[in-house]
Amino acid sequence: MDSNKKLGLIGRNISYSFSKKFFEDKFQKLMLKDFSYDIFDTKEIGDVEGLFSDPQLLGFNVTIPYKEKIIDYLDDLSDEARQIGAVNCVLVQDGKKTGYNTDAFGFEKTLMLHKKPYHNSALILGDGGAAKAVKYVLDKNGITSKTVSRASELNFDNLDKETVREHKIIIQCTPVGTFPNVEDCLNFPFEGLTEEHLVIDLIYNPNYTRFIINASEKGAKTANGYYMLEQQAEKAWEIWNFQKK
């Protein structure tokens, strides 16, 4: 019997994937011949049903735009995933499909690496699945936050430099500026930034988004999404391999 364990990533229009390379490198390093990691580029979330029918499927990562939509197809959620309302990692065990959120773990690691005592309030730019994980971590660490999105009361049209100045952590959670659209940038009052600001852009490709470049020109401390991505992937690996009930 073939004991191949299948992992992968589901999303839409996935032109490149950190995850595939990350896990294939890991299989090689650990000399695991029976693992594979594939890209499941799905036009509709319903296509995931076909994936679940594969008996060799051990689990998968979830990216834009399915982190919230996938929940309807799962049997159970971890505490974090339930509170956040978004899933980026699924474990399939004995036919049971459980959703986890390892974005929260990855973001918390990134935040704690850079956070200073005066970083006690934040602006979250965007309101998708990643933004929800960010808010969960900020709440958990007693950092007050406001969300800025197209639909929120505080939005990209009325956000002013005074509001930016008052919030010393800025987390960019939208896909704006992702490769290949590297010159795109959110409408944001960069002049409100100071040297006390910590600006985290969750994008990792390119390494330095236009948003990060603009922020660093104002003296802000900046970080991209690479470390978060690495950490959430390590956490997913742990879930797939050590989550024995």
Active-site positions? 67
**Nearest Cα residue to 121 out of 151, 149, 141:** 141
**Nearest Cα residue to 14 out of 51, 42, 36, 34:** 42
Cα 131 from chain centre: 8
Calpha distance 60→58 (Å, rounded): 7
**Nearest Cα residue to 19 out of 102, 77, 94:** 102
Contacts 24+ apart (CB under 8 A), 222-229: 222/198, 223/110, 223/113, 223/114, 223/198, 223/199, 224/200, 225/110, 225/200, 225/201, 227/106, 227/109, 227/110, 227/113, 228/103, 228/106, 228/107, 228/109, 228/110, 228/202, 228/204, 229/18, 229/106, 229/204
